[in-house]
Amino acid sequence: MHIKNIIAITPVWNETLGMIQRFLNDINEVRRILSEQNIGFRHFFLDDAAVNLPDEYPILVRHQKNKGLDQILLKGYQAIFSLKSKTDLIIRIDCQEHDPLKIPFILDHFLHSSTKVIFLPVCYWIEGNNRPLMKEITKIMLEFNSALSPIDRKIILAIYNQKFPMGYQAFTTDALAIILPQLKKGVAIFKEKFKEQPRWGLDLLVMLVAANQYPKSVDFVFGGWSKPWLENRGREKIEAQRKQAAKIIEVAVELGCKTI
């Protein structure tokens, strides 16, 4: 695959200014690394009524009121396709959980494979606890990947956001162009079916739609270690994530994704 331009987008809502600034330091290092390979790299924030995002930072989409992760991401993806300068690779990355320095590795993976979509699960790790062995993490990623198409509901609900979150995602532009209309349709189905905005969980819908569309061109690589948000450690949040995942699976089935 020939890649000369990359765009990364980062949704922001309640992240601290210090967190954003540290993240940008790594983004600038990625820009330096890729420039040495003659690859253009642009990064934009998606401002979902963020409390600590300065105006001087590059912002692609801005909400005056918080509308939820699903809405800001859909608008962000659509805005990329409206840019005058086109891109070959699109990366969705968060400030708090994700490591920008993985981006050169993502690029290398696309360059040397037929992959169209890559997901990078991040393993939560609290300092003082033992880290899981990489062979255990690899086994979970393989199990989850095999459960995406056809959909194995039991395995997905046991792993998605229960073992580790999977919002770090990368797409070839042509793949996202095909996936995006399905995501928009899926959000509309969710609203009609459950009488509310999904707000979050779009990352799982992306995985299910991508695996259904490109069953042999979706891959998983380890996204690194991350200290979890305090609110992500409680049983209530974990159970809410499982219930949301079950709803997203129902939407994916209505979109035509195969299930066992």
Is residue 163 very low, low, confident or very high in pLDDT (cuts 50, 70, 90)? confident
pLDDT band at 178 (very low <50, low <70, confident <90, very high): very high
Is 260 inside any structural domain?
Answer: no
- Work out the average pLDDT over 6-28: 96
Reported as a single tens digit per residue, the pLDDT across 56-99 is 999 999 999 999 999 999 999 999 999 999 999 999 999 989 99
Whether 211 has a pLDDT exceeding 90, the answer reads yes
* The three-state (H, E, C) secondary structure of the chain, written as one string: CCCCEEEEEEEECCCCHHHHHHHHHHHHHHHHHHHCCCCEEEEEEEEECCCCCCCCCCEEEEECCCCCHHHHHHHHHHHHHHCCCCCCEEEECCCCCCCHHHHHHHHHHHHCCCCCEEECCCEECCCCCCCCCHHHHHHHHHHHHHCCCCECHHHHHHHECCCECCCCEEEEHHHHHHHHHHHHHHHHHHHHHHCCCCCCCHHHHHHHHHHHHCCCCEEECCCCEECCCHHHCCHHHHHHHHHHHHHHHHHHHHCCCCEC
Asked if residue 73 belongs to a domain, the reply is: yes
Look up the pTM and report it.
0.95
Q: How many domains does the chain have?
A: 1
Domain that holds residue 217: 5-254
Radius of gyration for the alpha carbons in the chain, expressed in angstroms and rounded: 17
Question: Is 177 contained in some domain?
Answer: yes
The pLDDT tens digits of the residues spanning 145-157 come to 999 999 999 999 9
**Does residue 104 lie in a domain region?**
yes
pLDDT in tens, 6-15: 999 999 999 9
Q: How confident is the model at residue 128 (pLDDT cuts 50, 70, 90)?
A: confident
Name the percent of the chain lying above pLDDT 70. Answer: 98
In this structure, what CATH number is given to the domain that contains residue 158?
3.90.550
Residue 64 lies in a domain: yes
pLDDT above 70: residue 231: no
Mean pLDDT across the chain: 94
Residue type, 150: P
259 found inside a domain: no
On whether residue 182 sits in a domain, the answer given is yes
- All residues at 6 or more sequence positions from 75 whose CB lies less than 8 Å from its CB, including other chains: 46, 61
How does DSSP assign 141-175, residue by residue?
HHHHHHTTTTB-HHHHHHHBTTTB----EEEEHHH
Confidence (pLDDT) at 230: 63
For residue 219, is it within any domain?
Answer: yes
